[in-house]
Structure 1
Amino acid sequence: MTYIDDFGNFFSPITSRLLILTTFFRQFSINPFVGDWQAEIISGYGEGYYIHSILLSSLTHLGIVGFGLVFTIIIRTFKNFKNLEISKMSQENFLFLNFLLVTILGTFFQFLTFMPFWFLMGIVNLRYKNRLND
């Protein structure tokens, strides 16, 4: 085994996800409006070959309707923090910056059921709601 082989094995999760990304249109075409939780299986690729992106997997598994709801919640969350002051690191700012990082990573590497994404989205919106009520 050479260093080049090790280098290829190191990036194999990324290359496999890029290959799976090419299957997006076939998985999305299974049921574009309401999606299908078995889109990767029905499309013929097999279990586990789902799109590794929160946004794209919401399109294939929840359809346009579910994607619209998820995307609306994400946009609402970002609008809540349009006046974010980075210099003043409050707990709300810290949670929002974590949510931003998790959303970016999830957009490229995770499935729709990525728990940190949903947890941070919920806590960020709850903290924002509590801040409005104070």
Structure 2
Amino acid sequence: MRLLPTLGLLALLAGPAAAVQPDEILDDPALESRARELSKVLRCPVCQGENIDDSNASVSRDLRLLVRERLKAGDSDGAVLDYITDRYGEYVLFEPDNRGANLVLWLIGPAVALVALGGGLLYMRRKRPEVADLTPEEEAALQELLKKTDA
């Protein structure tokens, strides 16, 4: 019976660890911090859902080393991202630029939502039931019913 809680605890402790190897870490803490921040916005081309800092894929290791190499060469963060996207495409960015063809992708979601909302409102407006006026006989019957319920 003690085995199950122990296995549960081990599963919690065995959470995902950063894939950065000790030989990749830069001596300069400021450059290493910049490298880590850049690694968080770059997607692993193999894993697709992980950033290169968390991925164990060999291409992610190559990208981490490339980021650190460019930072040591004196590139700015933007220059490093441009260098990598020139070679791997915008797919490696978790948040691609919202210009050019990507602007269409950024705008199509809200546009479709607005069109759907407008269509829904028009549909609801047209489905509103028509209310006809009561004839004098129906009005009298309604008044009679209301008098009975008040009493």
When the two structures are superposed, what TM-score results if normalisation uses the length of structure 1? 0.27
Give 1 or 2 for the bigger CA radius of gyration. 2
Structure having greater relative contact order (Cα 8 Å, sep ≥ 6): 1
When the two structures are superposed, what TM-score results if normalisation uses the length of structure 2? 0.25
